[in-house]
Structure formats: C-alpha cells, structure tokens
Structure 1
C-alpha cells in the first residue's frame, strides 16, 4: 500500500455494478467482503479498483474506517 491509495479511497467512485458512482469509502462492508471473496475464488488479477476494494475491506474489517475521515474532501 502507498499513501496515495488512502486518498483514492475517499475520492474514487465505484465504476460499475450495484454501487456505481458511490465513493469506495462509502461501500458497505458486505459488498467489500463479497467482492474480495469473488476475486480470490475466480483467480482474477487485481486491477486498481480491485486493489482499492481489498484495501478498503481490510480497513473496514479491522474497524479503522474513522481514520479516513480527515482525508475526505470538504
């Protein structure tokens, strides 16, 4: 992970699917868990969006989402 990834979590929107247009930081934990599980089971290489969703899943799973609040655009 690099520091720019944290900034991307609060500025990048989901480009497809049910949550298209929603900030990655605002995606529900259940969706993050499902996406990561599906990516692993299907042996997909991680694109940038896959990498960011996996990072957000780790942050959410460990209860660290509040650490991203200062990075959100005002």
Structure 2
C-alpha cells in the first residue's frame, strides 16, 4: 500500500476545508477574501484547527501560492 506524504495530506485537507460559520460559511478557506483574513490576523485567529488553517491560507495568499491549493481541491 502506497503511503501519502503527510505534508501533501495536510495540503489536501487545507485545500478542501470550508468555513464553518458566518458570512462565508461553506466557502473553501482559499476562496475567502484576503481582507477577511487580514481582519482575523489583526483580531487574532480562532483557537484550534480553524485558526491554524486560516493563518496558513493567509500566508499562502500573501505569497501568491493560491494555485497550489486550488489544484488539490475536490470538485
């Protein structure tokens, strides 16, 4: 059985994670407006997995790496 690289597994999970609440509920995190992520950065990301994912998506967006996650999204 082939083993998937843990980093790739993490990126696949990140690419397919959706916002669980609020105005952008059910949107992929990578599809959130950058201004919304900047707001979270200023106010503080939530605790736990969602906060870590939001912070990672913010970093990917500001570094122009959105296509990396988009390739991994399930349609």
Extract unaligned runs of 5+ from structure 2. Answer: 1-5
Structure-to-structure mapping, 1:18-37, within 5 angstroms? 18-37=23-42
Question: How many angstroms does 1:69 deviate by?
Answer: 2.5
Residue of structure 2 equivalent to 1:13: 18
More helix by share: 1
Instruction: Give me the TM-score of the superposition, normalised by structure 1.
Output: 0.79
**Structure 1 runs of 4+ with >4 Å offset:** none
Q: Which has the larger radius of gyration?
A: 2
**2:55 maps to what in 1?**
54
Q: RMSD in angstroms over aligned alpha carbons?
A: 1.8
Structure-2 separation of matches of 1:65 and 1:49: 18
TM-score by length of 2: 0.78
5+ residue gaps, structure 1: none
